Structure 1
């Protein structure tokens, strides 16, 4: 399975569409390099100025066997509408004019200085994808953990309990990205990805109230997450980090196999595993004792990536090791 998306558009794909020269916008490229989720996550333009409304089928019509000369009663399917809202992520970058001019190439220097701001926005975006909760912070969008948070909920069959009972737990996620499963959204009529506005030279103020001339840049990123079909996301919850050093640690491989079998049809999109650095390390260690593990390293367009049963494994530091127990 190729690591590159072929149908739904990633941010890099949207960047090519916006640039008339067909080149990837530098900022969009930087975002994809530092946020592994963006390498896989397709984005769809919302059908609302503030997000995206989806009609989800909640019930199927009935079908009836019949005899000759006997009819059947008509029936119909049932649907519900779900609205996913976008959040507005913004920041301002300010660079001293004299410092920028000393470099010789002011534009390139400013972009290099702005990398820190882009990284901060990336980390915030990645964290919100997994942990965003509008009931706690209304300015965010709803992330995955807040949608898969209870073992007694309607989607509990897609939450696998790894057995951890403390507060040093983490999660492994299996997400099947696709236009009909789960994808990113941006407001109707707006730009996909991060909007960059050069505000030019401004009079800036330091921490002590002093004035100086500098350059100001505004970064704005309106986005959200749309879960069209909850069956195409699996959360392996309650993975006890401290238990990984035990003589009989939790079997990560077994849990990942279970997750794969929770997905109705992997062909509906692009399946990807997400885990943090610690769990990825212990997965490698456990694979040494499993000759038949189907863990392999592949290469696409010069990029090397690890797969489990042909499903890419992404390492993301956004996934915490301090999750509360999911019950």
Structure 2
């Protein structure tokens, strides 16, 4: 983890003491309040290790996912996605599209494993992970 220059490293605790709260409209109670603050970030040693595919269309009846962009992004990785450490993170819409492609028996890029009884979608051997914080409503990047 990295911290902003001149800031405290680690977790900062601010004891606010006893404060008055209103848990409902008719009652008042006092509670002890403590605030925890931490400013930190992540550092990527080699920026080639992170690839992003933006502006993927998620609406429409046809499959809007472009396989070629995923292959290009994997091949831009230092080990071309073959180190075993590569992961693909997608939102629910794209995960659904990848799962539909994985069930197609004629497709050689998409597979679905059953690790511990839970299906794991893979693209060319790279696991695809669902991240709910990636949303469809982001502005397009020009």
TM-score, normalised on structure 1? 0.35
* Alignment partner, residue 124 of structure 2: 309
Gap runs ≥5 in structure 2: none
Gap runs ≥5 in structure 1: 1-43, 52-84, 86-186
Q: Which secondary structure does the structure 1 equivalent of 2:99 belong to?
A: helix
Q: Out of 23, 27, 30, which is 1:213 matched to?
A: 30
User: 1 or 2 for the larger relative contact order (CA 8 Å, sep ≥6)?
Assistant: 1
* Alignment partner, residue 93 of structure 2: 278
* Alignment partner, residue 203 of structure 1: 19
TM-score, normalised on structure 2? 0.70
- Residue 221 of structure 1, CA deviation: 3.0
- Residue 188 of structure 1, CA deviation: 7.0
Range with bigger deviation, 199-208 or 269-278: 199-208
* Alignment partner, residue 53 of structure 2: 236
Number of matched residues? 139
- Residue 239 of structure 1, CA deviation: 0.6
CA distance in 1, matches of 2:100, 2:119: 19
- Residue 260 of structure 1, CA deviation: 0.9
User: In angstroms, what is the RMSD of aligned CA positions?
Assistant: 3.7
CA distance in 2, matches of 1:304, 1:199: 46
Higher strand share: 1
* Alignment partner, residue 57 of structure 1: none
* Alignment partner, residue 324 of structure 1: 139
- Residue 296 of structure 1, CA deviation: 2.5
CA contact (8 A) 1:274 1:314 kept: yes
- The alignment status of 1:225 with 2:45, answered yes or no, reads no
